[in-house]
Amino acid sequence: NAGVTQTPKFQVLKTGQSMTLQCAQDMNHEYMSWYRQDPGMGLRLIHYSVGAGITDQGEVPNGYNVSRSTTEDFPLRLLSAAPSQTSVYFCASSYSEAVGYGYTFGSGTRLTVV
């Protein structure tokens, strides 16, 4: 059982470039989300989805787009990369939006924007 799979693990972008961070889960979880982790800031929610076709903004959504065409996949798009988006990105999923279930996390994507 793969759980939550994120690709790539590492990426270097130039300012202004665009890219998509991939996230896939095989647990039939309805709820998926993207976080970024920065030193001294903990984890901050970027976007989330409660099911296919439904997405919403989190705490820090600017500069990022998401879509959820299938239950399994929840890609995160950087439209025009900026150095402030240098971070480690984590995808997480859960059986339900009900937070008592806890989340399953991917292993992360370390992004550097130069």
Partner 1 sequence: GDSVTQMEGPVTLSEEAFLTINCTYTATGYPSLFWYVQYPGEGLQLLLKATKADDKGSNKGFEATYRKETTSFHLEKGSVQVSDSAVYFCALGGSEKLVFGKGMKLTVNP
Per the listing, tokens 């989190």 go with: 58
Q: Which stretch binds partner 1 (CB under 8 A): 22-30, 39-47, 60-68, 77-85?
A: 39-47
The encoded tokens of residue 92 equal 């997480």
Binding residue (CB under 8 A) for partner 1 from 33, 49, 55, 87: 33
27 contacts partner 1 (rule: CB under 8 A) = no
Binding characters for partner 1, 53-82, by CB under 8 A (x = yes)? -----x------------------------
Q: Which stretch binds partner 1 (CB under 8 A): 11-19, 21-29, 72-80, 99-107?
A: 99-107
The residues pairing with 32 across neighbouring beta strands, listed in sequence order, are 49, 93
Cis peptide before 75 (omega within 30 of 0): no
The CA distance from 74 to 54, in Å, is 11
